Amino acid sequence: MKGEHSTPDGIRVTSAFPTRETAVGGYLEPIRAGGAVLWREARGGGREVVLVRRPDRGDWTLPKGKLKGGEHIITGSVREVVEETGVTPVLGRRLPPQRYLKDGWPKQVEWWAATPADPSAEPAREPDDEIDLVEWVPLEEARTRMTHEHDVRVLDNFRAGPVRTFPVVLVRHMSAGDKRAWSGNDLLRPLDDRGRADALALPRLLSQYGRPRSVSSAAARCTESLLPYTVECDVPVQTERALTVRPTGRSHDIDEARAAFAGLLDRCEPVVVCTHGELVPHLMAEALDRLGAPVTQQLGLRKGSLWVLHVSADGCVLAGAERHTVRPFKGGGG
């Protein structure tokens, strides 16, 4: 018994069994992919975005691609943009994901706005069977040239929000063992083996957002969490007493911590802040309140995870918020 259906690209496919749009009453793990709306200011005014043409499909689309097994959604999305365009992106605000069927199987593509790391960069990809043309296209023209409706929706989401943003990254320090088993001063408790491995992975994530300045709790486990990033990306670290949880037996001042974080927000510049789990919900609440955004019920972070707040460069309002673990979840998520 055979079934025939059309893919989202308009291709007729015949299969050995009748197709359906999803598992009846069930769930199909989606194909995971990521990409970016890579944009720049045009020399003659207005804005341009990068489009790529795939010769085997004869379509124009935004740069994107499937994640590799165990790949982080952030680094995988950047890798795909580089491979398809030859341009290294710096991620801006996250855009809503797009979900659609690919050959009868659900596909979910995560999207970001992005700018070239080198503002003068031109597409440098050699044509091949996968991509034969890469072009900077005026924003309005891009919308009409793109083949697929789901790409048009991505571009419309990009146009609907603030274009220029900066990241504020809030990190909970990496794993530092069980503090009950540490007999010394808790400020000196170091990262354990897992924590050190995660700290070494952190620079690759943070560098996708540029080179934000770094501020840390003075506790060893926090400064050690940022150390590989500050060295690899040549970013000095500033320690902040107000963001430091005191040793056992001494309380930490929530108001002082919130005021210190508010001061960092008021500078309206990219920054990564590493602190303690006890303070993360309070600092997030401060940020969301100051940025005029609703407060989520899930403000906390696990060790080795981070919030990325994308803040509009015009008016300092929240343009997006995403939460990640340093190690990707199974299935390729972040």
Using the CB atoms, write b or e for 302-313: b if 16+ within 10 Å. ebbbbbbbbbbe
pLDDT band at residue 122 under the 50/70/90 scheme: confident
Mean pLDDT taken over the chain:
90
Would you state the pLDDT for residue 250?
57
CA distance linking residue 180 with residue 211, whole number of Å:
36
The residue assigned the tokens 């200011």 is 41
**More confidently predicted of 102 and 87:** 87
Is the per-residue pLDDT at 16 higher than 50?
no
pLDDT band at residue 11 under the 50/70/90 scheme: very low
Is the per-residue pLDDT at 7 higher than 50?
no
Angle of CA points 322, 328, 334, to nearest 5° = 20
Would you state the pLDDT for residue 56?
92
What is the mean pLDDT of the segment spanning 263-284? 96
**DSSP for 112-134?**
EEEEESSTT----PPP-SS--EE
Per-residue pLDDT tens for 62-98?
Answer: 999 999 988 999 999 999 999 999 999 999 999 999 9
Helices vs. strands in the chain: H and E counts, helices first:
7, 15
Is the per-residue pLDDT at 244 higher than 50?
yes
